Amino acid sequence: MSKVSINGRSPWAWIPTLYFAQGLPYVAVMTLSVIMYKRLGISNTDIAFFTGWLYLPWVIKPLWSPFVDIFFTKRVWILAMQVLIALSLGGIALFLPGPLFFRLTLAAFWLTGFASATHDIAADGYYMLALSQHEQSFYVGIRSTFYRIASVAGQGLLVVLAGILEDSSGDIPFAWASVFALLAVLFLIFALYHSRALPKVEKKSLSPKSLRDTMADFAEVWVDFFRKPGVGIAILFMLLYRLPEAQLVKLIQPFLLDSPEVGGLGLSTKEVGIVYGTVGIIGLTVGGIIGGICAARSGLHKWLRPMAWSMSLTCLTFVYLSFVNNPSLVEINLCVFIEQFGYGFGFTAYMLYLIYFSEGRYATSHYSICTGFMALSMMIPGMAAGWIADQFGYQSFFLWTMICCVATIFTASLLKINPQFGKKNS
């Protein structure tokens, strides 16, 4: 395998850092925001509802992806978005000590999400342009690995750092402002580094005529998507398969942080960084790897229903934690690992089905549309999750997520999949 790509630049010089940079802002918007607001005294209802809106950039990402192709180059988009992410994360650090911190930081988080979603489009497009098909296959595991490392760093190390700063300073806003200031500086470094490390591999913008043609093609992509056989059932599956997890993920950290008097487990910020941000991510990753191996050996058709049950049954771990008195840290770690393992294993079926449904003339564009529905499936249920937990308590909330598992199993049972899809020899 050649280690030198276009312009004599090794892919090792930019793939690890590019995908590490791709993973961090998503973690900041989706996970760090929840933990930070909980530590600052925001209610579960407001946390889930308002941070749920932060999924919106990823929901509507397919709508502006053509503009990333049309205007400028993907390299320019990557560098510009990394600078914008640095500025928006710096804004969060700046706004935290103020009286209007909740509104202002939410706006900054939304801007971070928009920049991050745009960065995703540009980075994935750049990856396909800068590498041959063989190189793309070779480095796909590398990019996934560094994206996962970013998740561990964001949900684990940064949360632990915030907890250390909370304990040492006694000032929660200062602790979190310091974490986001660090992230802002890191993204400025990314932008400077990538301005040198990313090869120039494409021409600039398209002509006005090409713009009109591209927009016509864009409309055709959407029309073709909704003409696909079984599109109604497919969209139902995309929206409901993760219904339990979409709600659960918004309340895991608040549940871990809340005191036992209100039904929580009373962990410290540092402990949450270890339990959810490290042990949980390891479980998620291992589950995904094993799920991929199983699907590759026997195909998605065989493993779809077992994976749907895996997504469902592992939610029982949080029912257990909410009912047991004073669970040990070992029990908590084990339960989080099992739940995240089950989610990672079951999520394999979801991602493979998106690929399966996207097959055809517009496979790449249709997959992008599917990821929009994927983000929407997390956004809407998650927005209501905090209100349910505040109204009825954690125990009832986790029992409710178990009831929602019916939607996961039911929608999976409706799908018709070629038995050969996903097998190694197909």
CA-nearest of 146, 212, 174, 426 to 301 is 426
Pair 195, 228 in one domain: no
**Residue 417: inside a domain:** yes
> Pseudo-torsion of CA 298, 301, 307, 313, nearest 10°?
-130
Count of beta carbons in the 10 Å neighbourhood of residue 280: 26
Burial of 252 (0-12, 13-18, 19+ CB in 10 A): buried
Q: Which of 16-30, 127-141, 364-378, 408-422 has the weakest average pLDDT?
A: 127-141
- pLDDT score, position 72: 83
In whole angstroms, what is the distance from residue 153 CA to residue 157 CA? Answer: 5
Pair 298, 378 in one domain: yes
Pair 223, 136 in one domain: no
**Residue 210: inside a domain:** no
Is the model more confident about 90 or about 297? Answer: 90
Helix H segments across 243-328?
A: 243-257, 269-274, 281-298, 300-313, 316-323
Pair 31, 83 in one domain: yes
**Residue 223: inside a domain:** yes
- pLDDT score, position 411: 95
Cα 177 to its chain centre, rounded Å, is 23
> Pseudo-torsion of CA 352, 354, 358, 363, nearest 10°?
-80
Q: 300 falls in which pLDDT band (50, 70, 90)? A: confident
Pair 285, 383 in one domain: yes
Tens of pLDDT, residue by residue over 104-116, are 999 999 999 999 9
Is the model more confident about 137 or about 132? Answer: 132
Question: Residues 135-146: what's their mean pLDDT?
Answer: 74
In whole angstroms, what is the distance from residue 209 CA to residue 6 CA? Answer: 29
Residue type, 78: I
Coil, helix or strand at residue 104: helix
**Residue 5: inside a domain:** no
In whole angstroms, what is the distance from residue 389 CA to residue 352 CA? Answer: 32
- pLDDT score, position 417: 86
Q: 211 falls in which pLDDT band (50, 70, 90)? A: low
In whole angstroms, what is the distance from residue 66 CA to residue 257 CA? Answer: 42
**Domain stop point among 205, 231, 259:** 205
In whole angstroms, what is the distance from residue 305 CA to residue 405 CA? Answer: 12
**Residue 50: inside a domain:** yes
Burial of 399 (0-12, 13-18, 19+ CB in 10 A): middle
Identify the DSSP state of 54. G
In whole angstroms, what is the distance from residue 342 CA to residue 286 CA? Answer: 10
pTM: 0.85
Pair 306, 163 in one domain: no
Helix H segments across 10-73?
A: 15-27, 33-39, 44-52, 56-59, 61-70
- pLDDT score, position 137: 62
Pair 227, 198 in one domain: no
Pair 172, 253 in one domain: no
Tokens 């549309």 locate to 369
Token readout for 31 is 């996970």
Q: 426 falls in which pLDDT band (50, 70, 90)? A: very low
Pair 262, 187 in one domain: no
> Pseudo-torsion of CA 60, 66, 71, 74, nearest 10°?
80
Contacts of 335 (CB under 8 A, 6+ apart): 317, 318, 320, 321, 327
**Domain stop point among 176, 205, 234:** 205
Percent of the chain with pLDDT over 70: 93
**Domain stop point among 173, 205, 237:** 205
**Residue 1: inside a domain:** no
**Residue 211: inside a domain:** no
Total tally of structural domains belonging to the chain? 2
Pair 201, 232 in one domain: no
Coil, helix or strand at residue 5: coil
Pair 111, 235 in one domain: no
CA-nearest of 244, 242, 177, 191 to 32 is 177
Residues 150 and 19 sit within 8 Å (Cβ to Cβ): yes
Residues 86 and 177 sit within 8 Å (Cβ to Cβ): no
In whole angstroms, what is the distance from residue 372 CA to residue 370 CA? Answer: 5
Pair 18, 69 in one domain: yes
In whole angstroms, what is the distance from residue 116 CA to residue 108 CA? Answer: 12
Tens of pLDDT, residue by residue over 223-232, are 989 999 999 9
Helix H segments across 131-207?
A: 133-152, 158-169, 172-197
Question: Residues 168-196: what's their mean pLDDT?
Answer: 96
**Residue 31: inside a domain:** yes
How many degrees, rounded to 5, is the angle at CA 231 between CA 227 and CA 232? 125
CATH code assigned at 179: 1.20.1250.20
- Provide the domain limits for residue 117: 10-205
The CA distances from residue 232 to 261, 266, 358, 402, in Å, are: 45, 43, 14, 25
